[in-house]
Structure 1
Amino acid sequence: MASLSLPRVLQLKKNSLDAEREQFEKFQTLAIQKAINAIETPVKEKHVRSTIIGTFQEQSAVTYWMVAIRQPLQDNRIVAWKFCHVTHKLLREGHPACLDDSQRHTGMIENLGKLWVHLREGYGRLVHLYCALLVSKLKFHQRNPRFPGNMQLTADELDAIAENDVNNYFQLCVELFDYMDDILNLQAAVFESLGNARANSMTASGQCRLAALIPCAQDSSHIYDCNVRLLFRLHAALPADTLVGHRERFRQQFKKLSSFYKHASSLQYYRNLLTLPVLPSNPPNFLLQSDFGTYVTPVVSIPEPPPDEVDSVASLIDTSDTVSQVSHFEQAESFDTRTTPSPQPDPIVERDRLIDHLQNELKRMRSEVSQLVQERNTMLGSMREHCTRLESQLQATKSELEEEKQKAEVLSAETPEIKQKLLQTEDKAKVIDEKFQKLKGAYTQLREEHITLIRQKAEVDKLASSLRAAAAQHESSKMMLQQQLNDRMKDVELLQQSASSSEEIEAYKNEISNLRSDLENSRQKEVELESLKASMETLEIEHKTAMTEQKEKVILVTNELKEVNENLERVQKEKEEKEAELNKAKEELNAVKVESGADVKRILEEKEAALQEVAELKQQYQQEKEDLLQHNTVLEADVASLKAQLEEAQSEIKRQRCRMLSCAGEAALAVTCGALDAHEHGSARDTYRLAAELAANALNELATHKEINGNEETLAKSAVYAAHNTAQLSAYIMEVCNVSTDMELSDKLSNECRSMLSATKTCLEGVAAGRVEAGLCAEALGGVRRAADSAATADAAPAPGSVDDELATMDTAIEQAAAQIEEMLAASRAGDSGVKLEVNEKILDACTTLMGAVKVLVQDARRLQRELGDTSTRQKMYRRNPQWSEGLISAAKAVVFAAKLLVSSADETVNGKGRVEGVSAAAHSVAGSTAQLVAASRARAPPAAPSLARLTAASRQVATAAGAVLAAARHAADLARDTEALDTSALTLTATRILEMESKVRALELETALDKERARLAELRKRHYHLAQLEENGNMTNGKE
C-alpha cells in the first residue's frame, strides 16, 4: 500500500515548555560529554550527579542514551571505559525507570564488549569485562524487576520477592552468584592491570580504573548479604547434600571478596572515598542455624561529598574551549594500543597534599584506636557481669541440688514403712485365699447335689421339657455365681501383684544415685568456671599487646559460656524431670495403700453375700422342683391334644398347596403361550395392547369377587395375570419414555405408569392379605386404561427429522453452492478485465476451493454415520440420544446456511454490490459451522474408526481453505486501497489542511458507525442464542416463538 507523505507544519514560535526542554537537553548533553570524555582521569562526581538528577527530572533515561550512544565508544577505549562507569552509576542511583529504558540497549553494550575484547592489553579486556557485568545486571533486573538498582533490600522485602518458595530461593541464589562472579572478575582484572605497586592508585591513570570499582564494591556488599540470607533459608528447608555446590561456590566467592576488600582498603585512593567492611576470617556455617544470629551485614559507606564552590548547574556552562579540547583528544585517540601520557602534577603541591592527607589519616587511626580501646573495656565489663550472673546461677543450682538430696533421703527413710505395709497386705491375701478355698469346696458340693437332682428328675419324667428348661436356668445362675467367684480370684491376684512395688523402690534408689552423679558433674562445671575466670584474666593481659588475639579469645570465651549455659539448662531440666518422677512414685504408693485396704473389705462383704445367695438358691430349687412335678402331668395332656390338631392342619395345608400350584401353573402356561404367539405373529405395539387388555380383564375379574373362600383358584389366576401384564405394560411405557424427544410427554407417561403400578400393588396387597376390595381394583383398572391410552398417543406422535435426511440435504446444498460459485467465476472471466478480474478471480477461486473442501468433509461425515450401523440401528441410536441427534442436525443446518451465505456474499462482491469483508465473515461462518459438525460427528464415533481420521484431515483442509479465502479478501482490499492512494504532490497548504480536516471528520464518523455496528452485532448474537435455546427446548414453531 502506498504511504502518504504529508508535509510537517512547524510552529513559527516556541512556547516556554519547548524552551525549557531545549535548555534541559543542552545541560544534560554538556554534563554527559564532560563525564564521558577521552581524558584518562577519574569521572567527575559532579557531572555524574548532574546526569542522575536529570533522570529524575525527566523520569527516564532517554536523553542520556540519546547522547551516550553518539559518543566515540568504538573508537576510544577511555571513552568506552567511562561510558561503562557512568552507566553503572546511572543504573544504581538514577531514576527507577532507567533500568527499563536501558533494557533495549543490552545488545549494543554486549556488542561493544565483543569489539574491545580483541584488544587484549590495557583497557580492552577491562571494557569487555565491564560490558559483561552491565549485561548481567540488566538481565538480572529484567528477570527480577522488584530488585532496586542499588540492590539494597531488607530481609522482609527479600522474602516477599521470593514468595517464601524454596524453588525461588534456589534460583535467585544462582543468579546472584553469577552477578557476583562478574564483579569479582572485573576487580581482579583492574588490580592485575595496576600491578603490585600501590603508588599507582595516586596517579591519574590508576584512579581512572579504580574509580569504576566503587559501584562494584557497593553492589558486592548487598549481593553478599542476600546470598547469606538465602543460603540460611535454603539450609533450613533442604538437606545439606543438595546444597553442596552452593556452599562451595559461596566459599570461593567469599575468599575473593575478602581479598578484594582488604586490597582496596590498603589503597590510598579509597581512604577518603569509601569505607569497606572487614569480612570474618571464616565464612558462615550454614549447617548451624544459630550462626545466623551472629551474622553481621557488611556495609560499604561513602562519605558525603563536600559542597562545591561553584553551583553544579552553573558549572555545566563552561566558557573554556572544552569541546575543542575533547575533540582534540578524540582525534589523538584511535583504535590502536597506544596510551595517552597522563598530565604531570606539580611535585611541591603534590607533596604538601600528601603530607596533609597522611596527617588526616594519622588522626583518623588514632581515633579508631581509642574507639577500639573503649569497645574492649566495654566488652570486658559486660563479660565480668556475665560471669557474675553465671556464678549466681551456679549457687542457685547447688542449693536446688541440696534440696533434692534431702528429699531423696526422706524418701529412702519412708521405704521400710512401705515394705512393712506390703508384708501385711500379703498376710491378708493369704487369709482371703484360705476363705476362698473353703467357699470353692462348698460350691463343688452344691454342684454335685444339683447334678444328682437332675438325674433323679430325668428318671422320674424324661418327657418334661419344661422341667429341663428350669434346670437350665438354675445352671445359668450357678455359672454366674462361678463367674463372680472368678472375679474375686482375679482381685486377689491383683493384690498379689502389688508386691512388685519393691522393685519400683529399687528403681527410685537408682534415680537417686543418678542425681548424685549429676551433682558431681555440676561440681566439675564449677571447677571449669574457675578455670574460665583465670583464662579471662589472661585474656585481659594479652589484649593490651595484640588486639587481634584478644578478639579471638573473647570469641572462644563466649562460646564456652554458651556451652555452660546450655549445660546448666540441661541440668535444671533433668532436675525437674526427677522431681516429677518422685512425686509420681509417691502418689502411686499412696494409691496402692488405699486400694489394698478397700479391696480386702470389699472381698469379705462379697463373700458373705455369696454364701447367703447360695442358701437362698438351694431353697428356691427345692420349691421349683415340686412345682415342676405337679405341672408335668398337666402338660402331657395338653401335648396330646395339640398333636392331633397339628396333624389335621398339616393335611389341609397340603391340599391347599396342591390347588394353588395347579392354578399358578395354568396361569404361567397361559402367559407363556400368549408371549410366544405375540412374538411370532405380532409386533411390540400389539404386544403392549394385548397386555393392557389382559391386565384390565384380570383386574375386572378381581373386582367381581368379594369373597376369597371358594374362589381361590380364580383369584389366584387373575392376580397372576394382573401382575404380569401390568409389568409388561410398564416396561413398554418406560421404553417409549426413553426414546421420546418430548420431555413433557415423557414425564406424563412416567407419572401415569407410576400411579398404575402403585394402584395395582395396593390391590394385590389386599388379595395377599385375604381380602378383595372392589374400589382398589377399580382404581387399578382405571390406571391401566389411562396408561395404555397415553402410550398409544405417544406411539402415534410424529417422529423427528432424520439425521440421515438432513445430512443428505446438506450434501445437496453444498453441491449447489459449489456449482453457483463456478458459474460466477465463469461469468466474471467473460465480462470483467484488469484489476477487477484479478480480484474476482482470486476470491472465487478461493471460495471454490473452500466449497470443495466442505463437500469432502460432508461426505466423510455421512460415511462416518453409516459406519455406526444399519438404518434401523442408527434410528434407534438417534432416538435414544435426542440431544446429540438434535446437535448433529443443527450443525448440518448451520453448514448449509453458511454455504448459502458465502455464495450470496461472493455474488454481491463480484457484482460490486457488496464488500470484501462480507466474504471474510462468510468464510469464518463456514469454518465455524464445519467445526461444529466435526465435533458433533466425533461425539459418538469409535476412536479407531477410519472415517474419523479422514474427517479430521478434511476439517484441517477446510480450515486451510478458509484461511486462503481470508488472504484473498485481504489482498483484494489492499489492491482496492492501492488504487485509491492519495496523490499529494499538487496539493497546496490550504488544500492539505482542508483534506486533513475532512479526513478527521470521516474518521470520527467511521468510529461512531463502528460502535453502533458493534452494539447491533451484540444484540443480534443475544437474539441468536435465545432462539437457538428455544429451538433446542422445542418451543419454536416455523422459526418463531
Structure 2
Amino acid sequence: MGTHKEGGATTFWSYVLNLPLSSNSIVSWKFCYLVHKILRDGHRNVIPGNLEASDETLEKEAGSDMNKVEANQAKSTTPAGQCRLMPLIPLIQDCSFLYHFSVRLLFKLHSISPDVLLGHRERFRDLFMSLTQFFDKAREMEFFKTFIQIPDLPDAPPNFLRAAALAEYKKPVVVMPNEEHHEEEEDVEPQPEFREASQIPQVRYIVVRGHVTLKFHHFLSNQYYLEMENDSLKRELDVLKPELQIIKNEAQRCVTELKAQVNRLEAEVEEQRTHKQMAIVENEHLRMEVEALRSTNVANIGAQIGFKEADGESSDVSMHGTQLNNTLAGLQVEKEGLLRMIREQEAELKTLRQQTHLQQSSLEQERQRSSMELGGLHAQLQQQLAQKLQEEQFCLLQCAVVEAEGIILDAVAKLDDPIHVRCISSPDYLVNRAEITLNSIDKMQQSHLAYLGNSNDASGLLRAVTQFSHLAADTIVNGSATSHSAPVDQANYLTDSCRDCANNCLQFLKDLKIQASLQRADPSAIRYTVQRILAVGQDLRPKGHDVLKEELGSMVDKEMLATSTAIEEAVLRMDEILSQAKKDNTGVKLEVNQNILGSCSDLMKAVHMLVTAATDLQKDIVEGGRGAATVTEFYAKNSRWTEGLISASKAVGWGATQLLDSADRVVGEKGTYEELIACSHEIAASTAQLVAASKVKADRNNKKLNTLQQASRHVNDMAAVVVTSTKHGQQQISDHGLMDFSGMSLIKLKKEEMEAQVKVLQLESQLEQERVRLGELRKRHYELGVSEDGGDGIDSFPPPPPPTLLDSTAVPQHIQSGGVYAAELIRLVSEAFPNTGEPAM
C-alpha cells in the first residue's frame, strides 16, 4: 500500500539499508519475502536496476539450494518454520501464471510447426511433473490452507498435438482468501506526497500478525513432517541396499586381486632363492678348484702362472659371489617388503571380510525379517481369502433366501387374491404336496447343519432352500385351493394353517438371512404346520364312491368319446358364430370378433388334438399294463387313476361348452371379455389335469406320451393367444369408445365425477356380495360332490368347477394367469414325480 501511495519504494529501501541483513538470517529471510511481495503487488517503480548478473554471481548462487527448506524439516508450528514457508505463497502464485503462459505459448507454437517441438514437450512434461509434486506437497500442509487455495492441475499434461485440447484446458487460478486488490493508475503521473512515519509500524504490524497466524497452525503440520521423515528413512534404506551390494562385490574383487598378487610375489621369491642356491654351489666349486690348483702348484712357473690365473678367476668368482650376495640381500629386503605388504593386505582383507560378514549377517537378518513378514502377509492373505469365500457363500445364501421369501410372499398373496377364489384342488394332491414338503424340510435341516460345520460350501443349503420354497409355496397355494371346496370349519382351519405355515417359513428364512441368527434357525415350527395341513387334507379325502369298479372302464370310454364329440361340435359351432359375426358387424367390432373367435377356434382344435392323443395313450397304457386281465379288470384295479381320467375328461368337455357359450355371448354383446379369459384359463387347467392323469401310468419313453406333451404345450400356447387377443380387442373397443370431455363445463364435469364415484361404490358392493355367494356355492358343491360323484349314471357334461392351480413362481406375462400357468406347473411336477401322487381335482 505504501508503494502505491508514494509511487515507488524509496521509503522501503531507505529503511532496508540500516537492517543487519548479513548478520541475522531471520531478518534476511523476511527481507527476501517482503521484496518478493513488493515485486508482485507493489507499485511498478519499486526497484531500479536490471536483470543482468555476472558469471561470479551466477556461480555463487548456483551452490544454494531452495530445497534446504524441506531438508531442514521446516516446521510450520515454529516461528522459524513459518518464516521459511511464508515466501512460498507468492512463489505458488507466480507458478500458476507461468504455467498458464507456458501452456498457451506451446499451443501457439504447435499450431505453426509441431514436428520440431519434441524437446519442448519433453521439458514441459518434466516441469509439469515437478510442479504437480510441489503443489501436492504444499496442498497437504495445513499452513497453506489458511492463506492460499492451491489450484488442481490435471492428471496428465495437455496434448499439444491435438488442437481441440486448447478448448478443454482450464486456467489454474490461485485464490487468496484475504487478498486486497489494488488498481494501478497507469495514465496519471505520481504526485509527491508526504511520507508519514506510521507506514513502517504498519508493515511491522502486518509481519507480527502473520507470525501470530502461523503459530496458530503449529499443531497442524507435525503429522505431515513425521510422515515425510518416515518416507525419507525408507528412501535411504532403499538407496543403501544397492550400495551395500556394490561394496560387497568390490570387496570380493579386491580379495581376488590380492590373492593373485600374493601368488605372483611368492613365485618371484622362489625363483630368486633358486638363483641364490645355484650361485652358492658354483662359488663352492670354484673354491675347490682353486684349492686343488694351489696344492698342485709346487715348482714350475707354469704352475704359478696357472695359480695366478686360477687366483684371478677366483677373484672374479669372489666378486661375482659378492655381487650375488648383494643381489640376494636386495631380494631379501624386497621379500620382506613384499611380506609386509602381504600382511597389510591380509589385515585389510580380514577387515573387509569382517565387514562383508557383518553386511551378510545384516542382510541375512533382513532376509529373515522379510521372510517372516512375507509369511505373515501370506497367512493374512489366506485368512482374507477364506473370509471372502465365506462372505461370498453367505451372500449367495442371502440371495437364495430373498428369492425364497419372494416365492412364499407370492403364495401368501394368492390367499387373498379374488381371482384365486375360482381355483380348487383335490385333498389327495394336497396330501401329496405336504408329504413332499416334509421330506424337503428334513433335507434342508441336514443341509443347514452341514453348512454350519463348513461355511465355505453353501451349495447344498442353496439347493435345499430353493426346493423347499417352491414346495412350501405349492403346499400353501393348494391348501388354499382345497379350502375353497371344503366345509366352513375345515376351510377356515386349513386357511389359518396355510397362513401359519407361510409366517413360519418367512421367520425361518429371516433367521437364515442374518448372520447372527443363522445358528438358531429351526424349521420345527414349519414341520408342525405342514403336518397340520397334511392332517386336514387326509380328513378331506372322499370316504367312498357310488360307482362300481366294474363300471369304471365303460365310463372312461364314454367320457372320452363324449368329450371328443363335444369339442368337434364346439369347433363347428365356432365357425358358425364367426360367419354370423361377419354379417352383423363391421369396422373395429368385426376385426375384434374375428380375432377372438379365430383364437377360440384354434384353441378348440388344439384341445381336440390333445384329447385324441390322451385317448391313444390311455389305450396304449391299458394294453401294456393289463397283462392277462381284461380291460374292465385293469380299470377296476386302478380305480383312483380311472376316476382321475373321468373327472379330467368331464372338466375338459365342460370347459369347451362354457367357452362356446361365452364366445356366443361376447359376439352378441351379451357377455364380457373377462368370461372368455376365465374360460380359456379353465380349459388350459382341465387339459393339464387330463395330461397329468394320463402320464401317471405311462412309460417315460413312450412316443405317444411325447405326442401328448407336445399337444399340451400347444393348448397352453393357444390359451395364451386367446387371452392376448381378448385383452387386445377389449383395449381396441375401449380406445375406440373413449369420451371427449373437452367441451364439458366445470359443473358438468363435477356431476359426471360424482355419478362415476356412485357407480364404483355400487360395483364394489356388488363384487363383495358375489364373492360371498361364490364361497357358499363352492361349499355346497363340495358337499354334494362327495355323495353324487358317478352315482346316477353318466351325464353328458355335468358342470363341476374345473380344477386349476395358481402359479407360485414368476412366469412370463402371457402365461401368468392362473389356469395356463397351472397347467404348465402340473406338467412339470408330473414329469419330476410321475408316481408320487394324483393331480389336482
Q: Aligning the two structures, in what range does the TM-score lie when normalised by the shorter sequence? A: 0.3 to 0.5
With CA pairs under 8 Å and 6+ residues apart, which has the higher RCO, 1 or 2?
2
Task: Normalising by structure 2, report the TM-score.
Answer: 0.33
Q: TM-score, normalised by structure 1?
A: 0.27
Higher helix proportion: 1
